């Protein structure tokens, strides 16, 4: 234990900008705990999971043409010959039937998720201040934001699955005959809005992201429960809030990319 005593006297020296002792062993470099480090490395690996999915999206997306008025007609209509324009697909709002509101709903969803990231930052900050009441308050807001996002996504999916009132008429070849059929909405096999691949990718990638959000919400609830019971207060630090916060911000960041790919380009 003598060694630790000398250590204490050493650290009273003014902090250098780069301390060569950082990497000398015996310390956690930059004072990052193993748990936080693990979370960072998990996030790096998860980045590659999502990157692979977004690369898949990009490759399939660009094997289809976009809607071009000069080729496909002046008025946009759904067709499996070209990739649909997102403003035309996602243009509805709940309770406001018939209102054309391109990308408004998904904009609200994105805002909710980003706002929940802000409240998460506030929870982490409250944790630094050891303010249990504030941690609880902001964690609750974050959980609410997560549920609101998931609920919105459920509505968006259900709307996407049910489809428009008129549906889209497609032509299929069955036993050598051209057969016309009207389809409504989308599933993994057929899609009224455009090529089936569009719906496949939509369901898979937003679903995969939604699963991440769901696990984030579950973790948030756990953290909320444990701060509410005073566990972290007794432990003396709120690092768990920080770790789960990292995950929550990551899920948020991934959504920004998913949003960009599916709704903006």
Closest to another protein by CB, 145 vs 163, is 163
Check: CB of residue 249 under 8 Å from CB of residue 117: yes
Q: Which is nearer to another protein, 46 or 87 (CB)?
A: 46
What residues line the site for another protein (CB under 8 A)? Answer: 3-4, 6-7, 10, 21, 23-29, 32-35, 37-38, 41-42, 44-46, 48-53, 55-56, 59-60, 63-64, 173, 188-189, 195-197, 200-201, 204, 208, 229-231, 234-235
81/96 with CB nearer another protein: 81
Minimum distance from CB of 141 to another protein (Å)? 25
SS (H, E, C) the chain: CHHHHHHHHHHCCCCCCCCHHHHCCCCCHHHCCHHHHHHHHHHHHHHHHHHHHHHHHHHHHCCCCECCHHHHCCCCCCCCCCECCHHHHCCCECCECCCCCCCHHHHHHHHHHHHHHHHHHHHHHHHHCCCHHHHHHHHHHHHHHHHHHHHHHHHHHHHHHHCCCCCEEEEEEECCEEEEEEECCECCCCECCCCHHHHHHHHHHHHHHHHHHHHHHHHHHHHHHHHHCCHHHHHCCCHHHHHHHHHHHHHHHHHHHHHHHHHHC
User: Shortest distance, CB of residue 73 to another protein, whole angstroms?
Assistant: 22
Compute the least distance from the CB of residue 30 to another protein, in Å: 10
Q: Taking the complex as a whole, how short is the minimal distance between the CB of residue 249 and another protein, in angstroms?
A: 18
Pairwise CA distance, residues 241 & 238, whole Å: 6
What values do phi and psi take at 96, rounded to 5? -120, 70
Q: Which is nearer to another protein, 20 or 97 (CB)?
A: 20
Which residue lies nearer to another protein by CB, 31 or 97? 31
Residue 25 vs 69, nearer CB to another protein:
25
Q: How far is the CB of 59 from another protein (least distance, A)?
A: 5
Structure tokens at 20: 């060569």
Task: Provide the minimum distance between the beta carbon of 205 and another protein in the complex, in angstroms, as a whole number.
Answer: 10
75: which residues sit within 8 A by CB, 6+ positions away?
none
Shortest Cβ 191–another protein spacing (Å): 10
CB nearer another protein, residue 18 or residue 48: 48
């Amino acid at each position: 234990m003598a060694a630790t005593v000398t250590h204490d006297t050493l650290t009273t020296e003014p902090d250098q900008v780069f301390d060569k002792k950082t990497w000398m062993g015996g310390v956690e470099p930059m004072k990052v705990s193993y748990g936080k480090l693990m979370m960072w490395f998990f996030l790096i690996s998860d980045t590659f999971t999502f990157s692979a999915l977004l690369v898949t999206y990009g490759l399939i997306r660009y094997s289809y043409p976009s809607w071009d008025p000069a080729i496909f007609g002046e008025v946009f209509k759904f067709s499996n010959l070209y990739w649909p324009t997102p403003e035309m697909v996602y243009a509805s709002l709940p309770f406001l039937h018939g209102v054309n509101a391109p990308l408004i709903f998904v904009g609200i969803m994105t805002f909710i998720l980003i706002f929940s990231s802000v409240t998460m930052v506030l929870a982490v900050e409250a944790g630094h201040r050891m303010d249990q009441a504030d941690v609880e308050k902001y964690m609750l807001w974050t959980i609410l934001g997560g549920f609101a996002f998931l609920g919105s996504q459920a509505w968006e999916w259900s709307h996407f699955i049910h489809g428009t009132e008129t549906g889209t008429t497609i032509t299929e070849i069955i036993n050598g005959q051209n057969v016309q059929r009207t389809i409504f909405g989308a599933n993994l096999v057929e899609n009224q809005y455009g090529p089936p691949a569009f719906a496949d990718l939509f369901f898979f990638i937003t679903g995969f992201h939604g699963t991440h959000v769901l696990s984030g919400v579950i973790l948030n609830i756990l953290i909320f429960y444990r701060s509410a019971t005073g566990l972290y207060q007794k432990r003396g630090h709120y690092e768990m809030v920080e770790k789960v916060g990292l995950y929550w911000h990551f899920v948020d960041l991934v959504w920004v990319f998913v949003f960009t790919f599916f709704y903006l380009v």
